[in-house]
Amino acid sequence: MAEDKVTEDMSSVQITASAEDEDVVDPWNVTSKSDTGIDYDKLIKRFGSSKIDAAVIERFEKVTGHKAHPFLRRGIFFSHRDLNTILTAHEQGKPFYLYTGRGPSSAAMHLGHLIPFIFTKWLQEVFDVPLVIQLTDDEKTLWKDIKLEEAIRLSYENVKDIIAVGFDPEKTFIFSDLEFIGQCPAFYQNMVRVQKCVTFNQVKGIFGFGDSDVIGKISFPAIQASPAFSTSFPFIFGKAKLPCLIPCAIDQDPYFRMTRDVAPRIGMPKPALMHSTFFPALQGAQTKMSASDDNTAIYLTDTPKQIKNKINKHAFSGGCATVEEHREKGGNCDVDISYQYLTFFLDDDDKLMQIKIDYTSGAILTGELKKELITILTALVGAHQERRAKVTTEVIKQFMEIRKLKYNYS
Ligand code: TYM
């Protein structure tokens, strides 16, 4: 029988805020009372992860021979677990793989969802390792008012956006839980191994489940845990027991603290993680961009006109009330959403720095900042839509077929 005792990893899995003034960060809610958003340093302490600091970035660059991605240099991927183990494996030419995912709750993905996928694509290029992408359509039918068939349909809509990010089909396996798991006994066997290790009390503590939650929710964490074990994919990895690196926003961490706790008990390596901050809602950094409210999010399906209107109308401004006041006192980049978005998507470090200086001094106005952002996002979303339009049924099949990737394992 699984023991009910709280082990080291499980003890730090408490995800709901214990004090009134604490930020709430869990797979379903992200809220902060502060205008500047989540206090990520505090979160690292609370979750017990490690900061991606200058020394980690330096080692990353040295080991990979690649200049750090802007998301790393700018603190967007800010926290990790065991990244050094992965870097050492890479240094020694030992194999590992990447794992990430998406819960298809809506047909259109938004800009926030792109963050982990853009970064994962870069990691795939840097490390040249296999990547598995899980579409948790089972999770979405369990949590939302979405029929099972509809959840599968949404997986097939979202997979087009994911493929459009530019993954390599020879190195990438994408799967829908509802379609794949029934075809892969090894995956199901790992799910049951995980289920044997975690008690109801523990998942209640980790995820806050209550007595009236359906039983599917209670067992779901084992499904998100299983892709972190290479033996779940024998057609890719054979019998090799490889570590993996999981890039995701920090809201997904509770699943993987549980996974890391279970791993050694089922004879598998603990997955490593790289966590990102949240791409904020248009209305301000107190919440993440979320698909539940059309006006808080910019979707990958939005037209140039919609993007322009949403930013002009809804993007929270750190500027002053009048032009005169703004010229005199300057704007506040720490709360200005247009500036925050530029930190994600304006690649030119010097230009970003200049914008910060000019906005803070009052030399540029909110309207000018928004104009810059609209130009960048319109181009980014437009290019994404062009790539997405080329994702045919044939291309989807290429990524989702159960098959060997281009790597050999003994
Ligand atoms: P989902 O669909 O909520 O989110 C997909 C990925 O996007 C991240 N994310 C964000 N990142 C930055 N800013 C935001 N505003 C934002 N909103 C969402 C999420 O952290 C996630 O990385 N249960 C998962 C699906 C999943 C998964 C995984 C995710 C299954 N296995 C492994 C990451 C890694 C979910 O519903 O993600």
284-326 pLDDT, tens digit per residue, is: 888 888 877 777 899 999 999 999 999 999 999 999 999 999 9
pTM of the model: 0.95
pLDDT tens for 254-277 read 999 999 999 999 999 999 999 999
pLDDT of residue 5: 45
Give Rg (Cα) of the chain.
21
Half-sphere exposure of 77 (CA within 13 A, CB side): 27
pLDDT tens for 336-347 read 999 999 999 999
pLDDT of residue 45: 94
pLDDT of residue 17: 43
Nearest to 117 by CA among 249, 257, 256: 249
Indicate the pLDDT class of residue 20, thresholds 50, 70 and 90.
Answer: low
pLDDT tens for 34-64 read 888 899 999 999 999 999 999 999 999 999 9
pLDDT of residue 159: 98
pLDDT of residue 19: 57
Q: What average pLDDT is seen over the chain?
A: 93
Give domain 2-281's CATH superfamily: HUPs (3.40.50.620)
pLDDT of residue 410: 75
For the Cβ of 37 lying below 6 angstroms from any atom of ligand 1, the answer is: no
Ligand 1, atom 3, lies closest to the CA of: 103
For the Cβ of 134 lying below 6 angstroms from any atom of ligand 1, the answer is: yes
Average pLDDT value for residue range 365-391 = 97
Ligand 1 centroid – CA 250 distance (Å): 9
Ligand 1 centroid – CA 248 distance (Å): 6
Indicate the pLDDT class of residue 395, thresholds 50, 70 and 90.
Answer: very high
pLDDT of residue 27: 87
pLDDT value at 367 more than 60? yes
Average pLDDT value for residue range 323-334 = 94
Q: Which residue has the higher pLDDT, 113 or 15?
A: 113
pLDDT of residue 176: 98
Report the alpha-carbon distance of residue 337 to residue 366 in Å, rounded: 10
Q: Give the E-state strand segments of 192-268 in sequence order.
A: 244-249
For the Cβ of 82 lying below 6 angstroms from any atom of ligand 1, the answer is: no
Indicate the pLDDT class of residue 13, thresholds 50, 70 and 90.
Answer: very low
- The residues near 84 (Cβ < 8 Å, ≥ 6 apart) are 56, 59
CATH 3.40.50.620 residue spans of the chain: 2-281
pLDDT of residue 1: 41
From 43, 252, 341, the mutation candidate for ligand 1 (largest count of ligand atoms within 8 A of CB) is: 252
* DSSP strand pairing (244-249 vs 97-102): parallel
Ligand 1 centroid – CA 249 distance (Å): 6
Contact, 26 vs 251, CB < 8 A? yes
From 141, 173, 248, 250, the mutation candidate for ligand 1 (largest count of ligand atoms within 8 A of CB) is: 248
**Lowest-confidence pick of 8-17, 33-42, 298-307, 395-404:** 8-17
pLDDT value at 144 more than 80? yes
% of residues, the chain, pLDDT over 90? 87
Indicate the pLDDT class of residue 22, thresholds 50, 70 and 90.
Answer: confident
Beta bridge partners of residue 110, listed in sequence order: 299
pLDDT value at 3 more than 70? no
Report the alpha-carbon distance of residue 406 to residue 410 in Å, rounded: 14
Q: Which CATH architecture has domain 294-389?
A: Orthogonal Bundle (1.10)
Ligand 1 centroid – CA 288 distance (Å): 11
pLDDT of residue 90: 98
Indicate the pLDDT class of residue 9, thresholds 50, 70 and 90.
Answer: low
Average pLDDT value for residue range 69-96 = 97
Buried b (16+ CB within 10 A) or exposed e, 142-156: bbeebeeebbbebbb
Ligand 1, atom 7, lies closest to the CA of: 113
CATH 1.10.240.10 residue spans of the chain: 294-389
Instruction: Find the helix packing angle between 200-207 and 215-225, rounded to 10°.
Output: 80
DSSP string for residues in 55-124: HHHHHHHHHH-SPPPHHHHTTSEEEEESHHHHHHHHHTT---EEEEEE---SSS-BHHHHHHHHHHHHHH
pLDDT of residue 7: 52
For the Cβ of 115 lying below 6 angstroms from any atom of ligand 1, the answer is: yes
Ligand 1 centroid – CA 107 distance (Å): 15
pLDDT of residue 12: 46
pLDDT tens for 166-192 read 999 999 999 999 999 999 999 999 999
Contact, 161 vs 381, CB < 8 A? no
